[in-house]
Copies of this chain bind each other. A is one copy, B any other.
């Protein structure tokens, strides 16, 4: 029996590890990480589940690779230039990337094997801080602080019910009606005076905290 472009070393590979991962990323973005199954991935690529295992060891490796793929999208500091501007660019880039791939935030907790892009990113960032005059200890602390803020903000942003791009006011309104009991006056206050204001975008708050942190960080003298 023959196949149209069946098995064996046919014309062009058509499939590849990269294409599998690319499609996995696409699927995770479209339907959420929970909907990413080996079967759904295979179907979306026009092949069968077991075929994927030729290119990938198991699903865990796919998830590891997805996290690394996400890291490739984040701006990496380049040598030279003001360290604050470098960190600012990196932070904003990371936040944007994690907003595009919200599922990646939750994945960070369970992944223990950093990929090459992740390592390169860390290395470049550490290098930028060291070059700016931070001691090794200061670098460790500054990096931990910055990344905690970035990941934490991304985590909160991912947990927001703003699935679509609709303004916050539309989704927050119905929720707030539950609070008519008056049991949560401060939350209602925040909701009505901040969150539901026209044009409000939680993402804009990111810059506030980031600048506050950058202002407080300084290399050299103090340990």
Interface residues, chain A, CB within 8 Å of chain B? 34, 102-103, 105-112, 119, 122-123, 126-127, 130, 136-137, 139-141, 144-145, 147-153, 155-156, 158-159, 161, 183-187, 189-190, 193-195, 202, 205, 208-209, 212-213, 215-217
**Could you say how many copies of this chain the assembly holds?**
2
How far in angstroms is the closest Cβ of chain B from A206?
8
A209-B141 in contact (CB<8A):
yes
A155:B144 contact, CB within 8 angstroms = no
Chain B residues, CB < 8 A from A110: 34, 106, 159
Report A115 CB to chain B, min CB distance, Å: 13
Contact of A151 among B155, B185, B202 (CB under 8 A): B155
Let me know if A212 and B213 touch, CB within 8 A.
Answer: yes
Cross-chain contact B155 with A109 (CB below 8 angstroms): yes
**Identity of the chain B residue whose Cβ is nearest the Cβ of A103 in the assembled complex:** B109
Would A119 and B187 be within 8 Å (CB), given that A112-B161, A215-B216 are in contact?
Answer: yes
B111:A159 contact, CB within 8 angstroms: yes
16 CB < 8 A contacts A-B: A105-B155, A106-B110, A123-B187, A130-B186, A140-B194, A144-B156, A145-B149, A145-B209, A148-B156, A148-B209, A150-B152, A151-B156, A152-B155, A212-B213, A212-B216, A215-B216
Instruction: Report B-chain residues with C-beta under 8 Å of the C-beta of A152.
Output: 147-153, 155
Chain B hits for A183, CB < 8 A: 123
Q: Using known A-B contacts A106-B106, A159-B108, determine if residue A137 contacts B194 with beta carbons closer than 8 Å.
A: yes
A195 vs B205: C-alpha distance in the bound complex, in angstroms?
A: 32
Interface residue from B108, B186, B213, B216 paired with A155 (Cβ < 8 Å): B108
